[in-house]
């Protein structure tokens, strides 16, 4: 049979992009029928699937999860590289990966080998800087706070206690737990503006609760307070409000210590580690994350899912900070330890709001590779990620942002832009809140020409940047 021919313009439709990003296989097969004139028999021949299987997939009776089948469908539909990237697969054109002018199929991106000195010590890898002054000269952040953080700042600096009129109802543990859970889940869903509006009142309520609730319940209230301040610090760090973030992270750690719960203490240490990394204190960040991970491992609750998850998440934080100071061997060792913890946990879960598991380890391998300047390794790891295993939107979007950074390192600015567009489609507030993404957008804009320059200018305007 003739190959399935789908017009180029059809792949660029917004609805098609959605089908690709969500890996909606029934929708994609129906798309091929509509725009490529492909019957189920033709789809079966093109993809190597039985015709009965194709029928079951189209009608929603069978679900596709195998990576091999995704590849066969992409090949059978002759997906262009732009669609393959949105679909979560590597491009076919070698030039997209290496910048080489000779196009050809590629099984895996090129992975640069580390250089080694005569005495056997690894050279410090000089990471290329793509988010520097050039980007900053094209776009600037619009005046004023991006998320309206003044109320959070007031709540953090109200040393005389909560303001008059702070509600004293709903001070029961279940009510407070629901409110904190809503803040945590909202953050993980990238609804930062909504969470930023909720936090000041929640922090005030928790301050009142820690004064009113006594006995064994008080430790649980302190654990909730630690989680709430953790959320506040996370949003502040994304917005580059570093001073306030430090204050919130320290409050989280003090509340965690009062909870006397090793897993809670470890979870709060994660946000302090992130605050240290923001200020480039990578050695201190690695030490804190590693030592706290060991503290959790030595606790009496070391084998519980909460403790295993927190311990693994701390190891991942330590790996990132090691990569930031260009210690490749240490980063790889820590990633290996985290991978073992993920296998011990037995899957991907969100205990203690860590989203920890084997998939999260793989996501951190992507981030670590980008941080070390290994764009090929980053995309190679990204190819192995199964999006269905990522339940936390913030993690999904971060993967696409890291992919955009990797493509920028390769000089493939169009692919970097496409990755950012995918991230914007999933969670626009992630791009609005993160100043490092603003720098990346500015850098792409300063290096692009023609239609891409116009597109990146429109993206910059949408995320709150001005010329």
**Do 85 and 152 share a domain, yes or no?**
no
Residue 49's pLDDT is what?
85
Residue 114 pLDDT > 80, yes or no? Answer: no
Q: Token pair of 187, please? A: 């953050």
What's the rounded Cα separation, in Å, for the pair 211 and 216?
13
Q: What pLDDT digit, counting tens, does each position of 287-346 carry?
A: 999 999 999 999 888 789 999 999 999 999 999 999 999 999 999 999 999 999 999 999
Percent of the chain with pLDDT over 70: 84
**Is 190 part of any domain?**
yes
Residue 220's pLDDT is what?
94
**Is 299 part of any domain?**
no
Residue 28 pLDDT > 60, yes or no? Answer: yes
**Is 340 part of any domain?**
no
Reference 310, options 258, 248, 262, 373; nearest CA is: 262
Pick the more confident residue, 400 or 103. 400
Reference 261, options 289, 302, 318; nearest CA is: 302
pTM recorded for the entire structure: 0.70
Residue 342's pLDDT is what?
94
Residue 27's pLDDT is what?
92
**Do 177 and 254 share a domain, yes or no?**
yes
Which of the four pLDDT bands, split at 50, 70 and 90, describes residue 119? very low
Dihedrals phi, psi of 148, to nearest 5 degrees: 65, 65
**Do 161 and 251 share a domain, yes or no?**
yes
Residue 367 pLDDT > 80, yes or no? Answer: yes
The counts of H helices and E strands in the chain are 25, 2
Q: Which stretches of 260-392 are DSSP H helices?
A: 262-278, 282-297, 305-324, 328-345, 358-371, 375-383
- What separation in angstroms does the CA of 200 have from each of 55, 149, 230, 248? 53, 9, 13, 12
Domain endpoint, select from 214, 230, 260: 260
Residue 166's pLDDT is what?
63
**Is 375 part of any domain?**
no
Residue 211's pLDDT is what?
86
**Do 68 and 148 share a domain, yes or no?**
no
Q: What pLDDT digit, counting tens, does each position of 35-80 carry?
A: 888 888 888 888 888 888 888 898 888 888 776 788 888 888 988 8
Residue 433's pLDDT is what?
87
Residue 105 pLDDT > 80, yes or no? Answer: no
**Is 253 part of any domain?**
yes
The answer to whether 91 and 418 have CB atoms below 8 angstroms apart is no
**Do 81 and 148 share a domain, yes or no?**
no
Which one of 9-13, 232-236, 301-305, 383-387 scores highest in mean pLDDT? 232-236
The mean of the pLDDT values for the chain is 83
Residue 258 pLDDT > 90, yes or no? Answer: yes
- What separation in angstroms does the CA of 398 have from each of 190, 218, 366, 388, 390? 11, 36, 10, 15, 11
Q: Is 5 exposed, middle or buried (0-12, 13-18, 19+ CB in 10 A)?
A: exposed
What's the rounded Cα separation, in Å, for the pair 306 and 135?
42
> Which residues are bridge partners to 31 per DSSP?
none
Residue 117's pLDDT is what?
32
Q: What pLDDT digit, counting tens, does each position of 263-286 carry?
A: 999 999 999 999 999 999 999 999
The residue segments making up the domain with residue 175 are 144-260
Domain endpoint, select from 240, 260, 280: 260
Residue 136's pLDDT is what?
39
**Do 178 and 71 share a domain, yes or no?**
no
Residue 261's pLDDT is what?
94
**Phi-psi map region of 466: left, alpha, beta (phi>0 left; psi -120 to 50 alpha):** beta
Residue 107's pLDDT is what?
35
Handedness of CA 220, 223, 229, 235 (dihedral sign): negative
Number of domains in the chain: 2
Q: Is 141 exposed, middle or buried (0-12, 13-18, 19+ CB in 10 A)?
A: middle
Residue 165's pLDDT is what?
62
**Is 451 part of any domain?**
no
Residue 103 pLDDT > 70, yes or no? Answer: no
**Is 382 part of any domain?**
no
Which one of 6-10, 73-77, 319-323, 385-389 scores highest in mean pLDDT? 319-323
CATH of the domain at 78: 1.10.260
Residue 26's pLDDT is what?
92
> Looking at residues 455-464, what average pLDDT do you find?
89
Residue 108 pLDDT > 70, yes or no? Answer: no
Q: What pLDDT digit, counting tens, does each position of 130-180 carry?
A: 333 333 345 555 434 455 688 899 889 887 666 666 665 667 889 999 999
Residue 300's pLDDT is what?
81
Q: What pLDDT digit, counting tens, does each position of 185-221 carry?
A: 999 999 999 999 999 999 999 998 998 888 889 999 9
**Do 256 and 151 share a domain, yes or no?**
yes
- Element housing 140 (H / E): strand 140-141
CB-based contacts of 215, cutoff 8 Å, min separation 6: none
Which of the four pLDDT bands, split at 50, 70 and 90, describes residue 110? very low
Domain endpoint, select from 57, 89, 121: 89
**Is 280 part of any domain?**
no
> Looking at residues 13-34, what average pLDDT do you find?
88
């Amino acid at each position: 049979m003739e190959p399935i021919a789908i017009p180029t313009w059809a792949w660029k439709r917004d609805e098609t992009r959605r089908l690709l990003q969500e890996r909606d296989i029934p929708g994609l097969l129906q798309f091929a029928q509509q725009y490529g004139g492909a019957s189920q028999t033709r789809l079966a021949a093109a993809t190597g699937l039985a015709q009965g299987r194709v029928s079951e997939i189209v009608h929603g009776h069978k679900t596709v999860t195998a990576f091999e089948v995704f590849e066969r469908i992409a090949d059978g539909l002759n997906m262009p590289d732009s669609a393959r990237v949105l679909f979560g697969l590597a491009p076919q054109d070698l030039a997209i990966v290496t910048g080489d002018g000779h196009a050809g199929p590629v099984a895996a991106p090129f992975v640069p080998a580390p250089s080694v000195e005569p005495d056997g010590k690894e050279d410090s890898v000089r990471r290329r800087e793509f988010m520097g002054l050039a980007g900053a000269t094209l776009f600037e952040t619009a005046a004023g706070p991006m998320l309206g953080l003044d109320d959070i700042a007031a709540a953090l600096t109200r040393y005389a206690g909560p303001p008059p009129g702070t509600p004293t109802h709903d001070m029961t543990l279940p009510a407070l737990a629901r409110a904190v859970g809503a803040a945590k889940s909202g953050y993980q869903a990238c609804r930062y503006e909504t969470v930023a509006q909720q936090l000041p009142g929640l922090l005030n309520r928790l301050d009142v609760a820690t004064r009113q609730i006594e006995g064994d319940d008080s430790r649980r209230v302190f654990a909730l307070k630690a989680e709430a301040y953790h959320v506040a610090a996370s949003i502040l760090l994304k917005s580059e409000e570093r001073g306030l973030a430090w204050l919130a992270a320290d409050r989280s750690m003090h509340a965690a210590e009062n909870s006397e719960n090793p897993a809670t203490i470890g979870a709060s240490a994660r946000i302090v580690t992130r605050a240290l990394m923001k200020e480039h204190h990578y050695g201190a960040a690695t030490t804190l994350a590693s030592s706290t991970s060991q503290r959790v491992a030595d606790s009496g609750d070391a084998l519980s899912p909460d403790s295993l998850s927190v311990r693994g998440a701390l190891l991942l934080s330590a790996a990132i900070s090691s990569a930031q100071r260009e210690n490749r061997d240490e980063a790889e060792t820590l990633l290996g330890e985290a991978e073992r913890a993920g296998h011990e946990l037995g899957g991907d879960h969100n205990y203690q709001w860590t989203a920890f598991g084997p998939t999260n380890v793989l996501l951190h391998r992507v981030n670590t590779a980008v941080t070390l300047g290994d764009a090929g390794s980053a995309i190679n790891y990204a190819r192995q990620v199964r999006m269905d295993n990522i339940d936390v939107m913030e993690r999904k979007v971060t993967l696409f942002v890291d992919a955009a950074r990797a493509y920028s390192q390769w000089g493939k600015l169009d692919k970097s832009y496409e990755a950012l567009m995918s991230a914007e489609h999933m969670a626009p507030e992630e791009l609005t809140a993160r100043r490092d993404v603003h720098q990346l957008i500015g850098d792409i804009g300063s290096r692009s020409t023609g239609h891409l320059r116009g597109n990146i200018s429109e993206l910059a305007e949408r995320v709150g940047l001005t010329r």
